[in-house]
Structure 1
């Protein structure tokens, strides 16, 4: 595959008329894409407290990880663009981050309760008590690459990004041993 064709990549129509450059139609097709905003999911659930030194599982809701396709047509030149999510980059609010190559694995009872996520997790080292709102702001940036084809050509438009954030409260739990 190739990136956008260079200047004059549209060529000329048979009969001498100027043809619309394919990059113009590619740009229109890419603008037609409606990429979903990622929906952040965690285990423990984000509505509950995360615990220092206990693995937090993270994933992007699967409904926001499906390919998205759009087409554009100008003067008989049709281009179809398909965007696919490539990775999720998480910023955890305490200075740490995680890069996940997929949407992540939702936690289920099939996993050991103490186990780390097999593909997208983070373990907090500090409580969020000193932060505004007593919570860390967690954000995820999902990067999409767009493959396009039309007019006998194909290419890739890399690096479209959709982002989301939410607050996560992280606390320390201390055990008290009594005899």
Structure 2
């Protein structure tokens, strides 16, 4: 082989070796990308990665994306009580408030007493409007009746008040008198005989009033009652004043 041929062979072999060495290096290097145009999308980048608004991006403290750095805890199961463990259904009524305590019987009695209505007596006399000294005058009243309140029921308690009329106390201007019943027009159970005329009184008349006194009791029925009943004592209601003129009978004796 001639020296020129030998030299040409060495050049060809050297070129083949260089090509074999350079080709892997070119494959490992990134290819030249085409020009990148973002257009109107300000959050896009040329490496095809979309950055969400508000994310940390490459400039964040961690140098990575805007998401959490560690594993995310799963949300609590919907409709389950976390205090009872995952997968355990809540006990029905477990968080319900305790039932309210029954009210005291005494409070219900006071409520019934505050709402009780007793009739106001109306005064009557016979003779009506005018009578005379030493003449029996009949006395009676309207309203001498038993009073019962409407029952009050709360829970397992029912309260009711009863007022039984006991007496009528008369203020007759000249004196007072107590009768055991309402009286009547015939005066058999309640009457009075005046001893002085009313001439010296304001307006020339006595101002007569009558006061009915009721004995009031209460009862309680039901499982929540503290007591079955009791006595509230007397309850008195006075009438309006009624004027009564008392005159003197003039007599003449012959000589």
RMSD of equivalent CA atoms: 1.8
Q: Can you list the C-alpha shifts for 1:10-46, whole angstroms capped at 9, x where unaligned?
A: xxxxx9853211111111112222111001011111x
Identify the residue that residue 160 of structure 1 maps to in structure 2.
Answer: 235
Higher helix share: 2
Q: Which one of the candidate residues 65, 72, 80 is aligned to 2:144?
A: 65
Q: 1:114-136: CA deviations, max 9, x gaps?
A: xxx32211110100011111001
1:34 is aligned to 2:113: no
What residue in structure 1 maps to residue 134 of structure 2? 53
Indicate the structure (1 or 2) with the bigger Cα radius of gyration: 2
Q: Matched residues in 1 for 2:197 and 2:248: separation?
A: 6
The structure 2 residue matched to 1:127, chosen from 172, 179, 197, is 197
Report how far residue 75 of structure 1 moved.
3.9
Provide the C-alpha distance between the structure 1 equivalents of 2:154 and 2:107, rounded to a whole number of angstroms: 9
Measured against aligned partners, the alpha-carbon deviations of 1:125-169 in whole angstroms (never above 9, x if no partner) come to 100011111001111111111121013511111111110121111
TM-score by length of 2: 0.55
Does 1 or 2 have the higher relative contact order (CA < 8 Å, sep 6+)? Answer: 1
2:107 aligned with 1:24? yes
1 CA distance for matches of 2:176 and 2:137? 12
1:76-91 equivalences in 2 (<5 Å): 76-91=156-171
Extract unaligned runs of 5+ from structure 2: 1-97
| 1:101 and 2:177 correspond | no
Contact 1:32 1:72 in 2 (8 A): no
The alpha-carbon deviation at position 106 of structure 1 amounts to 2.1
- The structure that is strand-richer by fraction is 1
